[in-house]
Amino acid sequence: MSVPVWPSDLPQRVLVDGFSAGVADGRIRQKMDAGPPKVRRRTSAAVRPVRARVRLDRDGVARLNRFWADDTAGGVLPFWFPDSLLDGLPLLTGEGVPLLTDGGEPLLITSWWLVQFSEDGIAIDAPSRVAFSASFGLDILP
């Protein structure tokens, strides 16, 4: 069975408003009777949390619901999602100058995250009758 890919007919970029990316936190904290908590590393293979939001029309809402229900089996299966931090950015030299093809076009980074929907699932907001926004959490898998 192949790993599903975020559908090309859904937005490939998340909105800046509503986006946040955390760090992989593999720590375990134990509260003490007195003093600071005891902290130790639980695992080096922790997930990185991401909060994302995309704008959709009615068809996009239906497509997202189908992706959730069918392709990820109700949000359970992992899938490939465009890296919201790097995908589509130009590749730069050490001096910050974009690398170009022979035709003068910038070379762009292609980067994907292997993710699962977080426990929050998907929330759809409807600011108008024709415009929607979907918010969801993703866990970037190690």
Q: In tens digits, what is the pLDDT along the chain, a chain of 142 residues?
A: 699 999 999 999 888 887 777 766 666 778 888 888 877 777 666 788 999 999 999 999 999 999 999 999 999 999 999 999 899 999 999 999 999 999 999 999 999 999 999 998 999 998 777 899 999 999 999 8
Distance, in Å, from the CA atom of 128 to the CA atom of 25, rounded to the nearest integer, reads 38
pLDDT of residue 37: 80
pLDDT of residue 43: 63
pLDDT of residue 24: 66
Distance, in Å, from the CA atom of 68 to the CA atom of 90, rounded to the nearest integer, reads 31
Exposed, middle or buried, 9 (CB in 10 Å: 0-12/13-18/19+)? exposed
